[in-house]
């Protein structure tokens, strides 16, 4: 890993409260709390996975992952309805005797009275939603995966340039914020400045955002703090963006060999995800803003199947092959070739 990132610690939540889960998802997933009792602040969710407790309700609890969010779908509700009241209450009492964080009933199914009694007795939050089980499971899994995802706190500036997420890194005072501000002035969108929170989402995806405190406020040395949203408007900001290219700014070193062709691409591993890395030397007078735009456009070209470096190599190989085949031709034959072989009457 690059030296600027090797000391970064990965942050990961160990738990979230059920109250936080309900507050964040009640509008998104149309959750309604059953009963008037308050949610115990000590009720915690410690895993990102959910559980369908069919076997546990039937009595097999050897592999019961009770510490997960429990989802009762049509299968669980119909199974309970087939039982007698005494048997239903007995099985639900045993089920709720485990330290279950919460129970969600899907499809707006009717809540069995015995389930409500058992939840009240064990102080287990009970929710209901109109969403079908499969859809709700996807939504909750995505939400919990985000909450328990690994996060990196990176010092840098993060800008959406032509739809490509460019994360600028480098030593303090090298000009990251100024470059980001110049890009915003040219119509691009600021995601975060100074502190960038990078979160791994799923396999191979990194999402970057700012912090709730600073949001889109930037510090410009000599000027102070500015609010990008207030100055440039809502179109100049984003709240999140996928991290696609890391641009490391460094002072120009004449003795250092920099990439000249782009044939050997570099990557940096952030939280297990390989991300394209470009080391960009800077010196007074160099237009980093335009270069940043070209980095984004070049990334898009490669993403859609065109690589300028590979194309040049292909042309060079074809030229060498053609020259070898025509080696018997006159040595005065133009061996390089021109963009056009005949200048007509346009001498501009």
Burial of 79 (0-12, 13-18, 19+ CB in 10 A): middle
Q: Which of 3, 9, 254, 260 is catalytic?
A: 260
CA 303/CA 242 separation, integer angstroms: 14
DSSP letter for each residue of 45-105: E--S-EE--HHHHHT--TT--TTSEEEE-HHHHHHHHTS-HHHHHHHHHHHHTS----EEE
With tokens 């782009």, the residue in question is: 262
Reference 53, options 95, 93, 87; nearest CA is 95
Q: Which of 26, 94, 155, 215 is catalytic?
A: 155
Sign of the dihedral defined by the CA atoms of residues 302, 306, 311, 314, in that order: positive
Reference 239, options 275, 219, 212; nearest CA is 212
Q: Which of 68, 91, 176, 188 is catalytic?
A: 176
Active site annotation includes 251: no
Active site annotation includes 274: no
DSSP 267: E
Active site annotation includes 260: yes
Reference 243, options 271, 275, 291; nearest CA is 275
Q: Give me the residues paired with residue 278 across strands.
A: 247
Q: Which of 43, 188, 194, 216 is catalytic?
A: 194
Active site annotation includes 155: yes
Give the residue numbers annotated as catalytic, written as ranges.
155, 176, 194, 260
């Amino acid at each position: 890993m690059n030296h600027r990132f090797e000391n970064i610690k990965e942050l990961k939540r160990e738990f979230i409260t059920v109250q936080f889960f309900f507050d964040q998802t009640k509008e998104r997933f149309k959750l309604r709390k059953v009963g008037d009792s308050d949610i115990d602040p000590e009720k915690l969710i410690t895993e990102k996975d959910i559980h369908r407790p069919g076997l546990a309700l039937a009595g097999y609890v050897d592999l019961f992952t009770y510490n997960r969010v429990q989802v009762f779908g049509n299968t669980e509700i119909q199974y309970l309805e087939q039982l007698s009241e005494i048997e239903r209450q007995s099985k639900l009492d045993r089920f709720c005797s485990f330290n279950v964080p919460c129970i969600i009933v899907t499809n707006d199914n009717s809540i069995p009275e015995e389930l409500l009694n058992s939840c009240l007795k064990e102080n287990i939050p009970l929710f209901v939603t109109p969403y079908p089980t499969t859809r709700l499971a996807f939504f909750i899994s995505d939400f919990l995966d985000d909450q328990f995802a690994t996060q990196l706190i990176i010092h840098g500036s993060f800008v959406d340039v032509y739809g490509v997420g460019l994360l600028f890194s480098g030593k303090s005072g090298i000009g990251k914020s100024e470059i980001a501000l110049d890009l915003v002035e040219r119509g691009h969108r600021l995601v975060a400045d100074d502190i960038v929170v990078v979160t791994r989402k799923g396999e191979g995806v990194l999402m970057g955002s700012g912090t709730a405190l600073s949001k889109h406020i930037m510090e410009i040395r000599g000027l102070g703090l500015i609010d990008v949203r207030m100055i440039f408007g809502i179109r100049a900001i984003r709240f999140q963006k996928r991290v696609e290219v890391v641009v490391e700014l460094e002072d120009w070193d004449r003795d250092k060999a920099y990439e000249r062709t782009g044939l050997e691409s570099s990557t940096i591993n952030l939280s297990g995800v390989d991300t394209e890395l470009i080391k960009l030397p800077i010196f007074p007078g160099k237009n980093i803003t335009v270069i940043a735009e070209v980095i984004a456009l070049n990334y898009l070209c490669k993403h859609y199947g065109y690589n300028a470096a590979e194309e040049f190599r292909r042309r060079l190989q074809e030229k060498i092959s053609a020259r070898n085949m025509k080696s018997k031709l006159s040595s005065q034959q133009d061996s390089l070739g021109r963009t056009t072989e005949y200048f007509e009457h346009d001498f501009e």
